[in-house]
Structure 1
């Protein structure tokens, strides 16, 4: 592995940790705390937020008719999301122990919590549920695919990607056949950085 690349990846991880620290500071700013993994808002904030809820009809009527007509198309995408969720969960349950790849924790990606937000009407809560589930499934699936790719074909692309997955920095450079042949077995089982997550 190139030491400069390792250095940049370490800097990125440090920045991600700093970002998480800053996001945690928002708990105080928005008057909530986490108790037993449940969000607790100050009562005065809840009352004020509930007083400002718009009705679902008013919320929906704020959109053009064409936007409303897209709703069946949006919700039809839930079918492939559910199928993907089921199949990738089965895939990793069967294959990852055989490949000796650490399993991806579904709960780290599919986080359903916005329905508790007191300032959303019913339609907004349903929309949030859809987005957090759908995007969670995509992230969960991507991480399973990334770990699988590291095991089977850890080679970078010839062109830069807009968004690299979490395992990409472990991959061989495109065209580096010597290192690929020398280190393939070692790289395909190099999940030591995930051991602290277990």
Structure 2
């Protein structure tokens, strides 16, 4: 899985670097999601440290990708689905209810503006 992860990492990072500035979306900091620190644990042997490094990269990449896609979804379509969806990102809870058409354009613009103010 390392090759697909690295390829995905390259493409999602390129997407973010080229598209987010165009839409005024604050970039996701890769280092906030991909953290390599378990190799400093003295009680792990070499193989365990290798596995921890691989898992840190894989899990971190999935979280990094999820945040980039979540910000993209918030910009273009911050509307919940009609049926329950498992495994939604943290932003999804604040999206508009399905079928909530009242002041949609105003609310959409507010969602977009907030993407520039992410801490």
Normalised by the size of structure 2, how large is the TM-score?
0.90
Equivalent positions of 1:47-196 (< 5 A) are 77-191=1-115, 194=118
Richer in strand (by share): 1
Gaps of 5+ in 1: 1-76
Aligned residue pairs, count: 119
Q: Which runs of 4+ in 1 moved over 3 A?
A: none
Structure with the greater alpha carbon radius of gyration? 1
Gaps of 5+ in 2: none
Larger RCO: Structure 1 or Structure 2 (Cα < 8 Å, ≥ 6 residues apart)? 2
| C-alpha separation in 1, matches of 2:103 and 2:25 | 22
**Contact 1:170-1:187 within 8 A present in 2 as well:** no
**Contact 1:109-1:139 within 8 A present in 2 as well:** yes
Residue-by-residue CA offset, 1:132-173 (whole Å, 9 max, x unaligned): 000000000000000001111111111223333122133211
Q: Deviation of residue 115 (structure 1)?
A: 1.0
**Contact 1:154-1:188 within 8 A present in 2 as well:** no
Aligned to 1:71: none
Richer in helix (by share): 1
| C-alpha separation in 2, matches of 1:184 and 1:94 | 22
Q: Deviation of residue 113 (structure 1)?
A: 0.9
| C-alpha separation in 2, matches of 1:170 and 1:87 | 28
| C-alpha separation in 2, matches of 1:140 and 1:113 | 17
| C-alpha separation in 2, matches of 1:193 and 1:167 | 14
Normalised by the size of structure 1, how large is the TM-score?
0.56
Please give the root-mean-square deviation of Cα atoms over the aligned residues, in Å. Answer: 1.6
Q: Deviation of residue 192 (structure 1)?
A: 5.9
